[in-house]
Amino acid sequence: MVAVLGALTNSATLILPEVFEPGLVLDMCERERSTVMGRVPTVLITMMEHPEFSMRNLGSLKTIGGGGASVPTTLVGNIEQTLGIETSGSDATISVLLSVT
């Protein structure tokens, strides 16, 4: 609900795939030039392990939010390293918000 209201109040495009398939979500993020993404850690890990991940242009992503489960510090490090997004605040036991600085 927060994502829907946030998108509406900011005139943003909200992408809601019917099912999660990592290649599809990566394709949609690249094609639509997504700037914000919120995912549970398992989904972020699955997307980063997808064979096409390194071939995708995800440079438009500015903020990635993760939560709903413990966020492994290795995931935070991988996101920082592969996407060039630095941690702006985190609590690895609750959630993480990564943002370009």
Where is pLDDT greater, at 57 or 40? 57
pLDDT of the residue at 92: 38
Is the pLDDT assigned to residue 88 strictly greater than 60?
no
pLDDT of the residue at 86: 63
What are the residues whose beta carbons fall under 8 Å from the beta carbon of 26, sequence distance 6 or more?
Answer: 47, 50, 52, 53, 56, 58
List the CATH number of the domain containing 33.
Answer: 3.40.50.980
Provide the domain count of the chain: 1
Q: How confident is residue 24, by pLDDT bands cut at 50, 70 and 90?
A: very high
Per-residue pLDDT averaged across 74-92, rounded?
68
pLDDT of the residue at 99: 47
The one-character DSSP state at 93 is T
Containing domain of residue 35, as a range? 2-99
Distances 82 to 3, 4, 8, 49, 57 between C-alpha atoms, Å:
25, 28, 30, 12, 11
Tens-place pLDDT, residues 43-74: 888 998 999 999 999 888 877 777 777 777 78
